[in-house]
């Protein structure tokens, strides 16, 4: 049953489209055809069954008028005439219908029913609704009353008897008018819905073209995957990246030529697409794609689509950072080579300065001058050492049992001359003495030297620097606090970046290249610890270092090995005095 109904609806829709594709002149002629065909059918029936009716002049006149109205409907240029003029045709149709009905009185033919055709036309037209509805009653009424009046019949009952036909036509016209209004509303709603849909489709098409243009313009590989890991969208750059990685066709998650930052093959579960499918959100995940000379390095990031925990896929971005990493490596190589070449002659300069200073009979002014030269040479030596450390790409820590309290004391003693020259007081707030830990004593001493010297440089005359070391759960904690110029929250977040210097430090022309804190962080990370900076402008800065206890086997060795802070103290003093 469904298929025939569907075919019927398709046929009706096709007929409707065909009708409204016709010109106004053809539609008017087509609207007049049903009445003309009905009257044309009456002619042979009347000739056979009612010869007297066919010979009646009124009948012939009605047939002729109907033919003229059909020709008029087909001949007039309705597209250039006012729309309301089209109502003239159905109104004039009542005249031939009345003539034919009068000629057929006394026969068995119910010709008054023909008025239903112009009534339907008027009611469906949608033009001047009140006038048309009134004519659906008055038109049929005149077709039955005028013949009575022409025959000289003045009986009220005769006029009342014929009111049934006009009343029926009025009811028919009202129903047709309501159907027409409803149909017009539906058509209007459909047009509005179609227009909205068209605008939506056009807007979507414009957005898609814009998105495609953006994706193809940016030099970044962009890929969207669904919850199953299948690619739903990717730009051309990402397809090139996939080709570089030797992706297996049809397997979006299998990239054979993908490696980690160190160049080792990356397991499938650690590859960016698989991590994104699992709902992970990450940034700056460095990978390598391809092999040999064609290999490139990419910084990848991913964000899930939808709410956390109910993600419907993810979007990934692959940014080629090969040139950037190569530039960083070249810079580090340059720093390492230059630092190494500078360090050797500086060591020789410091040695010969010491020899000159130890010479007997040296005038005091020369001795003072050599002291200034040594101080600046030592400063240059520290700078070169920092550059070489920063360029090395990492710091090795060799933990061994030592006394953290003694390391703090020696670091403060080493910084005392600089603090005294700057008018700054140093305070040791360490609670536990001794404070046994297993760390790289030399590296931790370097860490404290950097933090304390940094605090002294950024503290004004009369200020103070306090160092505190104590045991805490799972390790040891060191804090270095000053009452210096401080930093903003944004500057404190970048203070551990290499070569970064706060705005206040540049404005105060405090010497430095921004490597001390970067090296301090590297030393802490080499011990698998953490370092934090809390600072406020004009309120000072506090650095907090946490050094965790070593692995269990190292902890056992710590208890077994001899603990000799005095010897370490002597070594530290010797190191600081060259």
Q: Is residue 357 included in any domain, yes or no?
A: yes
Query: Which of 101-115, 299-313, 484-498, 543-557 has the weakest average pLDDT?
Result: 543-557
- Secondary structure (3-state) at 429: coil
Q: What is the pLDDT of residues 456-479, one digit of tens each?
A: 988 989 999 999 999 988 899 999
Q: Is residue 459 included in any domain, yes or no?
A: yes
Beta strands in 43-164 (DSSP E): none
Sorting pLDDT into bands at 50, 70 and 90, what band is 252? Answer: low
**CA atoms lying within 13 Å on the CB side of residue 362:** 16
- 481 - beta bridge partners? 466, 542
Whether 380 and 445 map to the same domain: the answer is: no
Beta strands in 355-483 (DSSP E): 400-403, 425-428, 436-439, 464-472, 475-482
Sheet holding 425-428, edge to edge: 425-428, 464-472, 475-482, 540-548, 530-536
Q: What is the pLDDT of residues 188-245, one digit of tens each?
A: 888 899 899 999 999 988 888 888 888 888 889 999 998 888 888 889 898 888 888 8
- 222 - beta bridge partners? 317
Q: How many CB atoms lie within 10 A of CB 518?
A: 20
Whether 227 and 147 map to the same domain: the answer is: no
- Return the top range by mean pLDDT from 209-223, 396-410, 500-514: 396-410
Angstrom distance (rounded) from CA 543 to CA 468? 11
Q: Residue 400 phi/psi, 5° resolution?
A: -155, 155
Last residue within a domain, chosen from 281, 301, 320 = 320
Contact assessment for residue 27 and residue 18, using Cβ atoms and an 8 Å cutoff: no
- 425 - beta bridge partners? 464
The pLDDT of residue 423 is above 90:
yes
The pLDDT of residue 379 is above 90:
no
- The beta-carbon contacts of 367-375 under 8 Å, at least 24 apart in sequence, are 374/350
Give the pLDDT of residue 562.
30
What does DSSP assign to residue 392? T
Neighbouring residues of 322: CB distance < 8 A, sequence distance ≥ 6? 296, 297
Beta strands in 429-551 (DSSP E): 436-439, 464-472, 475-482, 530-536, 540-548
Whether 382 and 405 map to the same domain: the answer is: no
Whether the full predicted model's pTM is greater than 0.85, yes or no, is: no
Contact assessment for residue 428 and residue 501, using Cβ atoms and an 8 Å cutoff: no
Whether 184 and 236 map to the same domain: the answer is: no
Q: Which of 260, 225, 237, 252 is closest to 320 using CA atoms?
A: 237
Q: Any idea what the CATH number is for the domain that residue 468 is in?
A: 3.30.565.10
What does DSSP assign to residue 545? E
Radius of gyration of the chain (CA): 51
Contact assessment for residue 227 and residue 277, using Cβ atoms and an 8 Å cutoff: yes
Give the pLDDT of residue 555.
40
- Secondary structure (3-state) at 494: coil
Whether 462 and 562 map to the same domain: the answer is: yes
Angstrom distance (rounded) from CA 556 to CA 548? 15
- Per the structure, the count of domains in the chain is 4
Whether 448 and 368 map to the same domain: the answer is: no
- Secondary structure (3-state) at 283: strand
What tokens were used for 397? 């820590």
The pLDDT of residue 501 is above 70:
no
Residue 303, by phi and psi: left (phi above 0), alpha (psi -120 to 50) or beta?
Answer: beta
Q: Which residue would you say has higher pLDDT here, 254 or 464?
A: 464
**CA atoms lying within 13 Å on the CB side of residue 285:** 22
Last residue within a domain, chosen from 343, 370, 391 = 391
Whether 276 and 357 map to the same domain: the answer is: no
Whether 369 and 431 map to the same domain: the answer is: no
Q: Is residue 212 included in any domain, yes or no?
A: no
**CA atoms lying within 13 Å on the CB side of residue 388:** 14
Q: Is residue 16 included in any domain, yes or no?
A: yes
Q: What is the pLDDT of residues 174-188, one digit of tens each?
A: 888 888 888 778 888
- Secondary structure (3-state) at 4: helix
- Secondary structure (3-state) at 181: helix
Q: Which residue would you say has higher pLDDT here, 309 or 359?
A: 359
- Secondary structure (3-state) at 531: strand
Percentage of residues of the chain with pLDDT beyond 70: 83
- CB environment 264-303: b (16+ within 10 A), e (fewer): eebeeeebbbbbbbebeeeeebebbbbeeeeebbbbbbbe
The pLDDT of residue 545 is above 90:
yes
Q: Is residue 198 included in any domain, yes or no?
A: no
Whether 50 and 152 map to the same domain: the answer is: yes
Q: Residue 138 belongs to what domain range? A: 2-192
Q: Any idea what the CATH number is for the domain that residue 284 is in?
A: 3.30.450.20
Whether 540 and 444 map to the same domain: the answer is: yes
Whether 565 and 469 map to the same domain: the answer is: yes
Q: Any idea what the CATH number is for the domain that residue 350 is in?
A: 1.10.287.130
- The beta-carbon contacts of 42-49 under 8 Å, at least 24 apart in sequence, are 42/100, 42/104, 42/109, 42/111, 45/109, 46/104, 46/107, 46/109, 49/107, 49/109
Last residue within a domain, chosen from 364, 391, 418 = 391
Give the pLDDT of residue 407.
92
Q: Is residue 94 included in any domain, yes or no?
A: yes
Q: Is residue 264 included in any domain, yes or no?
A: yes
Q: Is residue 272 included in any domain, yes or no?
A: yes
- Secondary structure (3-state) at 498: coil
Whether 41 and 94 map to the same domain: the answer is: yes
């Amino acid at each position: 049953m469904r298929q025939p109904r569907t075919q019927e609806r398709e046929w009706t829709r096709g007929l409707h489209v065909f009708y409204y594709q016709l010109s106004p002149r053809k539609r008017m002629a087509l609207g007049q055809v049903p009445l003309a065909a009905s009257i044309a059918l009456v002619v042979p029936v009347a000739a056979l069954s009612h010869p007297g009716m066919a010979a009646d002049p009124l009948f012939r006149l009605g047939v002729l008028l109907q033919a003229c109205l059909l020709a008029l409907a087909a001949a007039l240029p309705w597209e250039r005439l006012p729309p309301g003029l089209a109502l003239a045709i159905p109104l004039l149709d009542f005249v031939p219908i009345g003539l034919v009905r009068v000629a057929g009185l006394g026969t068995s033919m119910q010709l008054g029913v023909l008025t239903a055709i112009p009534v339907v036309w008027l009611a469906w037209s949608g033009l001047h609704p009140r006038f048309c509805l009134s004519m659906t009653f008055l038109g049929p009424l005149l077709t039955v009353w005028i013949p009575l009046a022409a025959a000289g019949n003045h009986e009220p009952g005769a006029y009342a008897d014929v009111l049934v036909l006009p009343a029926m036509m009025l009811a028919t016209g009202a129903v047709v008018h309501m159907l027409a209004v409803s149909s017009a509303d539906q058509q209007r709603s459909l047009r509005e819905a179609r227009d909205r849909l068209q605008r939506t489709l056009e807007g979507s098409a414009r957005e898609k073209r814009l998105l495609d243009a953006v994706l193809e313009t940016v030099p970044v590989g962009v890929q969207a995957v669904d919850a199953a890991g299948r690619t739903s969208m990717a730009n051309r750059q990402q397809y090139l990246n996939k080709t570089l990685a030797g992706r297996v066709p049809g397997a979006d998650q299998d990239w054979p030529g993908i490696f980690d930052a160190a160049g080792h093959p990356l397991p499938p579960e650690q590859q960016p697409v698989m991590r994104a499918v699992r709902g992970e959100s990450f940034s700056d995940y460095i990978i390598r794609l391809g092999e040999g000379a064609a290999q490139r390095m990419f910084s990848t990031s991913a964000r899930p689509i939808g709410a956390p925990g109910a993600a419907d896929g993810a979007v990934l971005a692959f940014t080629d950072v090969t040139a950037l990493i190569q530039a960083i490596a070249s810079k580090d190589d340059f720093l390492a080579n230059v630092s190494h070449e500078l360090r050797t002659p500086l060591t020789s300069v410091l040695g010969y300065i010491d020899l000159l200073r130890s010479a007997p009979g040296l005038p005091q002014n020369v001795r003072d001058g050599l002291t200034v030269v040594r101080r600046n040479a030592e400063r240059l030596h520290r700078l070169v050492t920092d550059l070489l450390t920063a360029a090395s790409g990492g710091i090795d820590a060799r933990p061994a049992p030592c006394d953290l309290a003694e390391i703090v004391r020696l670091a403060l003693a080493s910084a005392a001359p600089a603090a005294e020259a700057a008018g700054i007081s140093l305070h040791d707030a360490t609670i536990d003495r001794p404070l046994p830990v297993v760390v790289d004593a030399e590296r931790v001493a370097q860490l404290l030297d950097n933090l304390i010297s940094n605090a002294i440089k950024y503290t004004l005359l009369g200020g103070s620097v306090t160092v505190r070391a104590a045991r805490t759960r799972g390790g040891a904690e060191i804090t270095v606090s000053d009452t210096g110029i401080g930093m903003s929250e944004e500057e404190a977040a970048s203070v551990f970046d290499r070569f970064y210097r706060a705005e206040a430090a540049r404005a105060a022309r405090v010497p430095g290249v921004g490597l001390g804190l970067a090296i301090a962080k590297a030393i802490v990370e080499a011990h698998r610890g953490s370092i934090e900076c809390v600072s406020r402008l004009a309120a000072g800065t506090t650095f907090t270092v946490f050094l965790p206890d070593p692995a269990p086997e190292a902890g056992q060795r710590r208890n077994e090995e001899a603990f000799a802070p005095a010897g370490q103290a002597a070594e530290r003093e010797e190191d600081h005095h060259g």
